[in-house]
Structure 1
């Protein structure tokens, strides 16, 4: 869904989250997350790693950006497009590798 049209107080389904369509919602459900509220308190990096393990596939890093965007949003951050988190992800991963 378009980030500018999302009201976190009215979300009931994962597909109502900014940046989440049917495929990403299905990925979240594989991780045991059934509602947007299930993202609160979760770590986006952990979600990404768990998804890679569960599916047996190393997913594109933009999936981590997407997870960062929705966790941030559900924890009170603004509704932003997933690519707004790309630079933050790159800095985070670079710091972790150092």
Structure 2
């Protein structure tokens, strides 16, 4: 869902989360994430590498940006577009 449309009181399915559409929802389920509460305290980089392992392919680095946005949101941050996390990802993890 587009971050501007997210309502914390209406998080009934994964696609109600910011930056999550059907494909990302499927990836989250593959990771064992069923709700925003499952994201709290997670390490986005570990989630990214697990997803790469589970899908047998290297995911686009933008997937890490999405995961960073979701973990931040799960810990109380305002919903923001995933690309707001790109510079932070590059500064923290370099070119993955």
Q: How high is the TM-score relative to the length of structure 1? A: 0.91
1:46 maps to: 46
Which structure 1 residue ranges, 4+ long, deviate > 6 Å from structure 2?
A: none
Shift of 1:8: 2.1
The count of residues paired between Structure 1 and Structure 2 equals: 95
Structure 1: gaps spanning 5 or more residues: none
Once residues 8 and 73 of structure 1 are traced to their aligned partners in structure 2, the CA distance between those partners, rounded to angstroms, is: 10
2:30 maps to: 30
Structure 2: gaps spanning 5 or more residues: none
Report whether the alignment pairs 1:4 with 2:4. yes
1:57 maps to: 57
Change beyond 3 A, Cα 1:9–1:40: farther
CA deviation profile, 1:53-91 (whole Å, cap 9, x unmatched): 011000000000000001101110111000000000000
Once residues 27 and 74 of structure 1 are traced to their aligned partners in structure 2, the CA distance between those partners, rounded to angstroms, is: 17
Once residues 85 and 49 of structure 1 are traced to their aligned partners in structure 2, the CA distance between those partners, rounded to angstroms, is: 17
Shift of 1:34: 1.1
